[in-house]
Amino acid sequence: MSETASPLIAVDRLAVSFGDPARPLAAVRQVSFTLAPGGTLGIVGESGSGKSMTARALIGLLPESARVSGTVAFDGRDLLANRERDWEAVRGRQIGMVFQEPMTALNPAHRIGDQIAEGLIHHHLLDRRAARAEALRLIERVGIARGRERIDAYPHELSGGQRQRVMIAMALACKPSLLIADEPTSALDVTIQAQIVELLSELRAEYGLALIVISHDLGVIADLTERTLILYGGRVMEEGGTSALFRAPAHPYTRGLLAARPGRHKAKGEHLDAIPGNVPAIADFPPGCPFFGRCTDGTERCRLQVPPPVAVGDSLARCWFPQGQASGGQA
């Protein structure tokens, strides 16, 4: 455990569900983690793993129909107890967010400079003129050439990579202490992906940001984060130091993910061929381990009982039959 005594954010048994309260559809179940100021965390999962819902819960932007429980302590305050007004003071100001789709995440009718400056003005950090100057500085900082012209451009006049840079500038404008990047590179070309990863890495150091990167791309996670959570079916499958976890995965799901990893030059898309079957619909997960059914080692116990976390090396795996466990007596 590398967390310090006072974490920036401490998530405890976060759960998000939808639908009929009597028969809820759980999108996120019992997710817990902590992150120190300036620390980094990767959250890995396929679509439907609950990773985006986790991110949106952290910034209070879940769909209206969602029910959420657990605690998200940020700087010692439970965000989940926030009223809407409190959230508005947190969003953008203390927690910034970069979304996946730069093509649709920017308002097409507003100039990019205005969109970057908007948060600064809204949080009363700067007046209009100073906010514009800061927007220009940010545009140049995130690596958009000819910032003076580009500040008045509309999103459609920029490339995908440039738009993602604008998104990053926007999320960082108010100097938040935590940045959540939800699939920051997934919609981009491979060469641009590397640039964006590099940029995030630089800015993290420069701003002293804590960073949560959500991705299905293990390369991005490896480049940007110290610790990683592997999410499947809304549950944490395995967690640990990123490099250790990737070097010696204990959970069959993590092993599957790593085996499916096609190197850095894979085409876009989240389908993982090395793991048989598809992610089931939320309602179809078994009562026990969500990976049961796609796991090659599944037993009746896996189907019925949720496995407790087991320490394997430096990682914690939630598996009845983790690989590399010292005792090995369970099999």
Interface residues with other proteins (CB under 8 A) are 59, 61, 84-85, 88-93, 96-97, 99, 101, 104-110, 118-119, 122-123, 154, 156-157, 167, 170-171, 173-174
Residue nearer to other proteins on the CB measure, 85 or 265: 85
What residues pair up with 67 in beta bridges, in sequence order? 17
Burial category of 129 from C-beta neighbours within 10 Å (exposed 0-12, middle 13-18, buried 19 and up): exposed
Q: How far is the CB of 47 from other proteins (least distance, A)?
A: 16
Q: Which two tokens stand for residue 177?
A: 């202490």
Closest distance of CB 166 from other proteins, Å: 10
Nearer Cβ to other proteins (75/297): 75
Tell me the closest approach of the beta carbon of residue 319 to other proteins, in angstroms: 34
Distance in Å, CB of 21 to other proteins, minimum: 19
Which lies closer to other proteins via its Cβ, residue 108 or residue 269?
108
Q: Which is nearer to other proteins, 89 or 311 (CB)?
A: 89
As measured in angstroms, the least distance from the Cβ of 104 to other proteins is 4
Q: Which is nearer to other proteins, 54 or 315 (CB)?
A: 54
Q: Cβ distance 167 to 179 under 8 Å?
A: no
